[in-house]
Amino acid sequence: MKTATAALSWLGRTIAILLLVIVGSTVLVRFAPGYLSDAREMDSRYAAEARSQLSAEATRSRSIPHMLLAEIGGSLRGDFGLSRQFEVPVSELIRPRLAVSAALLLRGIALAWMAALCAALLSSTGRNPSVLRQAPATVLLAIPTAALATFCLLADSGGPVLVMALLLAARDFKFLDHALRKAWLEPHVLHARAQGIGTWRLVVAHIAPTLAPQLGALASLSIVTALSALVPVEVIFNVPGLGQLAWDAALNRDLPVLLAVMILMALAVTVTGGTWASTAEWKSA
């Protein structure tokens, strides 16, 4: 019974967050400067009657409830409505780009975790923290995503995966290094080291199980950070993914496309962020 209650509570939070994303995004885009303008009204190829119909359509779209009903209806149908810019179902625009962004995220996160874990293991095994070991991560954290991507593009060295990995590795290294330094000082780890157990066996058998909940939370944070860096990385490197699609939709005030991308990102954040908390609730139940 408690397990079912925890599952329903998690599902309710997810639905509430998605509804807030839909309402908030619709209101922000509706009141954005120039949203009600349509470039076709200035085109002389359209007759006066056609331009008046376009104006009437824009007038009808002023109503926020009308916009919300249209966007929610498109989401429930599964096609996310009709693109304002391309005049095709949004799902046709998202489907081929979803795989591109997913591949970029997975490769970037995997490379970042490998680099962060190796650097944290090397740094945490020392007796005292080294400023030089912490300096690269600190510098990378201070550089904006777009600036790092632009530098790699101008230098013709690296790519979107490397930029994504460097950004994530710098953040993950800080958490992993701090967590590992505390783990090495645990009594059972000190006792095992005193008995001569090797470092690799200590990490696998003693430290990793202790840090499992923290690693799960850090993995969720890595996904959130990667999603926040997706738009500038894909735009600068011209990667045909969801980030570039969202940028084009924002420039062209294409609400259905922009809202669909934001729903997918919010769903990814909600699912990955709530999975560990829900798992803990179910286990405690």
pLDDT in tens, 29-73: 777 766 655 555 555 555 555 555 555 555 555 566 666 666 666
Confidence of residue 141 (pLDDT cuts 50, 70, 90): confident
Residues 103, 239: contact at Cβ < 8 Å?
no
Give per-residue pLDDT as tens, 113-132.
988 888 888 777 655 556 66
Give per-residue pLDDT as tens, 65-94.
666 666 666 666 667 777 877 878 888 889
For residue 79, which phi and psi values (nearest 5 degrees)?
-105, 0
Residue with more model confidence, 216 or 97: 97
Q: Look over the chain and give the mean of its residue pLDDT values, rounded to a whole number.
A: 77
Q: Rounded to whole angstroms, how far apart are CA atoms 282 and 2?
A: 8
Q: What is the phi-psi region of residue 182: left when phi exceeds 0, alpha when psi lies from -120 to 50, beta otherwise? A: alpha
Q: Rounded to whole angstroms, how far apart are CA atoms 254 and 12?
A: 29
pLDDT for 274 equals: 59
Q: Rounded to whole angstroms, how far apart are CA atoms 129 and 118?
A: 16
Global pTM exceeds 0.85: no
Residue 224's nearest CA partner among 167, 272, 260 is: 272
